[in-house]
Amino acid sequence: MLLHLLKRDLNKKKSVSAILFVFVFLSALLAAAGANMIRELALSMSELLVKSAVPHYVQMHSGTIDEREIERWAADTGLVDIHQTVEMVPLEGSHIYFGDRGTPESTSVMDFYFVQQNEKFDFLLNLSNERAEVAEGEIAVPLFFMRQRNLSVGDRLRIVHPDFVREFTIRDFVRDAQMNPSIIHSKRFVVHPADYEFLKRHIGSVEYLIEFRLTDSGKLGEFNKLYQSSNLPKVGPSIDLNMFRLLNALTDGVIAVVTIFVSLLLILIAMLCVRFTLLSTLEEDYREIGVLKAIGASRRNIRSIYLVKYVVLAATASLCGFAASFPAAHLMVSNITLYLGGAERDLLYFVLPLVTAAVLFGLLLLFCMLVLRRFHRISAVEALRSGSIGDVKINKSRWRLHHNRFLPIPVFLGLKNVFQRLRMFGLLFFVFAASAFLLLVPIHFLNTIQSPDFVSYLGIGRSDLRIDLQYSDRMNDRFRRTVDAIRQDGDVERFSPLVTSRFRLLNDDGTVDLLNVETGDFTIFPLEYVQGGAPLRDNEIALSVQNAREMERRVGDTIRLLVGGEEKVMVVSGIYQDITNGGRTAKARLPYDPDSVLWYTISLDLKPGVDAKTKIAQYEKAFEPAKVTDLKGYIQQTLGQTIAQLRNLAILAFFVSIFLSMLMTALFLSLLIAKERPHTAILHSIGFAHRHIRTQYVTMSLAVLIAGIVIGTILSNTLGQILVGAIWSLLGASNIRFVIEPVQAYVVCPLILMLVVVVTTWIGTGPNRKVNIAEMIKE
């Protein structure tokens, strides 16, 4: 009998059942795919770190080293399991040509390093997660350039140096556990030992990676303090295992978290839809329920009649979502598979999404049972007498038709219906607000991260051009000559030379750390500060959010630095956001020591009418080997991988929001039209045309939609901003402010939602043409 009733109910309400099925299906699909994405990310990253034998601690160094001193120190600490010093030959992008491109990589912000495969650990892997091995004349290129330059195996890489020309054939592409993410500007190319020796001999400069694997990686903090307080080489940034994990996981981890968030939102909407559908069905069948109770049917049996439909529907949709999650997850993890490698398909590959779908099914079933507890309150006598559940409260005050002077009657009746039954329209309002929120937040953040203003989160002020010079021999003299040339350039309106060097930081517990401090005038191209402002005196310093958090310092507090061999107390003038260099930077107006310089930068603005591209080409030639970029190009190269993923997420969110609004409108209208058939028949009988009734429903949908868009927009600009800031605070940007495109956010997106809802409402109200008073009297 239950099977017969199930078939009858599904045939009677095909559209409602189909829409509920789609909601549950999408919820299960996204939840299962998101869970599998997190599994894939965790296992792939773990496998990459294991197979590459990633170092636990790395110190980059430019200058001379004493290998024996490093060995003695490592042995004395008792924390080091194994260590090695890796040589790298640096080469300027202006000498490198990919494929058949006629232009060099002079505009790239990346640092090009040529290395040979390591013997002990820190292996550079190929796309099969095996050690990349190349023959003489061959090269393995980082994945970053494969994606950016659309390279393939067999393409060429040419080095055109003033002293030699060398051509390599691309044999493979490199997964580098240290330098995979685009936010890390150093990239390693693997060449044959013979080619490496040739490059080393002709280029003449070498930089080093001093690498350690510890006996206990949990003691990284202790080891870092020991190294920074030692006299070992440290002219360059340092990075550890925790930062490797964070940088490799950040972009795809955010996508996975957002996917699960969207699935949870859909689950909530599915539950509310089930509740609304069940209550509408109970109201329609209220008299029949009274009859069943009167003839002795138990509450349990009556509840089973209604529950079986949702059990079958939820179970089928959850299973279908589980099955569809595998091809969906395959698409979603493509970036993870490329950069980290694919994880093995173990039992968890099937169990995790199955459990996720089962939990979703259980939640829906539990929710249905809670809603159906209303059977306990239904009286057979009351049901037979009234035939109505009586839950919908209508506010009859103020909305009198004879008071209306301005609005067309169908519009007035539509608005009257909404305002008198706010509780009933609450579900539709919630879905529209959620759709607007889901649509706008990814678009806002994509616009923000692509905006030139985003440089403020990279710890730099906004300017037309940026010139970077990495530290090397005689670079200090070259930096001075570059500054003098820019000072004499009539096309330059203003400029700011800055030097990043390392200072010893005296901690409160007596230990010593090294602090990267950028020195110069920070009022020319000011940053945006979370608290306080720029350092104006030589005893003031601004700290990045990450440094301020770790040092437990606020504006007005002090830190102690060794400057010129003497202790100097510095007052914290401001706290700013910076996601570069692990988020650990500082800015001050101090004299720098040329022997501790890490790099030089020059920011500059051009006079009106000066072409930036022409000036970049001129400076590249004049200031070689400096890197000259505009800020848009700098952001694109630094965050290109993240921007690409965010663009995909924004596109997905757009279609999910549109689809969600369309489905919810169709579901709500189906139930509302069925419920209001008597009212519609009366309107037809007193002379209302079908177009008037359609206008009434369009008015109701648009009124609720506009309210939902307003609230969703406010939430996206406030709560959405907070959520994005919470995620990016892991890198040191905790106070992100959206860059909002007004036309896009406040005109285009709302109009698209309105168009979808109006068209759905107009189509959905088509069957109302057949409703007439004669049929209602017969029924």
Highest mean pLDDT among 75-89, 255-269, 671-685: 75-89
Contacts 24+ apart (CB under 8 A), 701-705: 701/428, 701/665, 701/669, 701/757, 701/758, 701/760, 701/761, 702/754, 702/757, 702/758, 703/414, 703/415, 703/418, 704/418, 704/425, 704/428, 704/429, 704/432, 705/432, 705/661, 705/753, 705/754, 705/757
Query: Across residues 374-400, what is the average pLDDT?
Result: 53
Band of pLDDT at residue 770, cut at 50, 70 and 90: low
Flag whether pLDDT at 507 surpasses 70: yes
SS3 letters across 685-716:
HCCCCHHHHHHHHHHHHHHHHHHHHHHHHHHH
Flag whether pLDDT at 332 surpasses 80: yes
Query: Across residues 305-313, what is the average pLDDT?
Result: 80
pLDDT at 303 (0 to 100): 73
Query: Across residues 297-310, what is the average pLDDT?
Result: 74
pLDDT tens, residue by residue, 674-702? 777 666 666 666 666 667 778 888 888 99
Band of pLDDT at residue 61, cut at 50, 70 and 90: confident
Which contiguous run of DSSP H or E holds residue 232?
Answer: none
pLDDT tens, residue by residue, 140-155? 999 999 988 899 999 9
pLDDT tens, residue by residue, 215-249? 998 888 889 888 888 888 887 788 889 888 888 88
d(CA 445, CA 719): 13
Helix intervals (H) in 488-630: 545-551, 612-622
Look up tokens 């949702």; give the residue: 310
Look up tokens 């010139």; give the residue: 467
Give 533's contacts (C-beta < 8 A, 6+ positions apart).
542, 573, 574
Which contiguous run of DSSP H or E holds residue 379?
Answer: none
What does the mean pLDDT of the chain come to?
A: 84
Starting at the edge strand found earlier in the chain, the sheet holding 186-191 runs 96-98, 156-161, 164-174, 138-142, 186-191, 111-115, 80-91, 207-214, 57-62, 238-240
Query: Across residues 206-220, what is the average pLDDT?
Result: 92
pLDDT tens, residue by residue, 551-569? 889 999 999 998 888 899 9
Query: Across residues 500-515, what is the average pLDDT?
Result: 84
- Give the 3-state secondary structure of residue 239: strand
Higher pLDDT, residue 137 or 263: 137
pLDDT tens, residue by residue, 721-758? 888 888 777 766 777 888 899 999 999 999 999 999 99
Flag whether pLDDT at 365 surpasses 70: yes
Residue 578, both tokens: 């910076």
**Which CA distances in Å does 644 have to 14, 252, 637, 748?**
40, 11, 11, 22
Look up tokens 């309106």; give the residue: 493
pLDDT at 772 (0 to 100): 56
Give 678's contacts (C-beta < 8 A, 6+ positions apart).
776
The Cα angle at residue 484 between residues 478 and 488, in degrees rounded to 5: 145
Flag whether pLDDT at 5 surpasses 60: no
Closest Cα to residue 324, out of 33, 636, 551? 33
d(CA 682, CA 389): 22
Band of pLDDT at residue 376, cut at 50, 70 and 90: low
> With contact defined as beta carbons under 8 Å apart, do 33 and 259 qualify?
yes
Flag whether pLDDT at 15 surpasses 60: yes
pLDDT tens, residue by residue, 390-438? 454 555 556 665 566 677 777 777 778 888 888 888 888 998 999 999 9
Report CA 618 to chain centroid distance, whole Å.
37
Query: Across residues 481-507, what is the average pLDDT?
Result: 91
Share of the chain above pLDDT 90, in %: 35
pLDDT at 402 (0 to 100): 54
Residue 46, both tokens: 């773990």
> With contact defined as beta carbons under 8 Å apart, do 627 and 109 qualify?
yes
**Which CA distances in Å does 618 have to 102, 259, 496, 553, 768?**
17, 46, 19, 44, 71
Counts for the chain of helices (H) and strands (E), in that order:
23, 20
Higher pLDDT, residue 433 or 388: 433
pLDDT at 9 (0 to 100): 62
The neighbour count for residue 359, using CB atoms within 10 Å, is 15
In the DSSP assignment, the letter for residue 744 is I
pLDDT at 12 (0 to 100): 64
pLDDT at 684 (0 to 100): 61
Lowest mean pLDDT among 84-88, 296-300, 628-632: 296-300
Flag whether pLDDT at 211 surpasses 70: yes
- What torsion do the CA atoms of 228, 233, 234, 239 make, to the nearest 10 degrees? -80
d(CA 774, CA 764): 22
pLDDT at 215 (0 to 100): 93
d(CA 159, CA 182): 22
pLDDT at 555 (0 to 100): 94
**Which CA distances in Å does 217 have to 73, 80, 220, 255?**
18, 10, 6, 28
Share of the chain above pLDDT 70, in %: 87
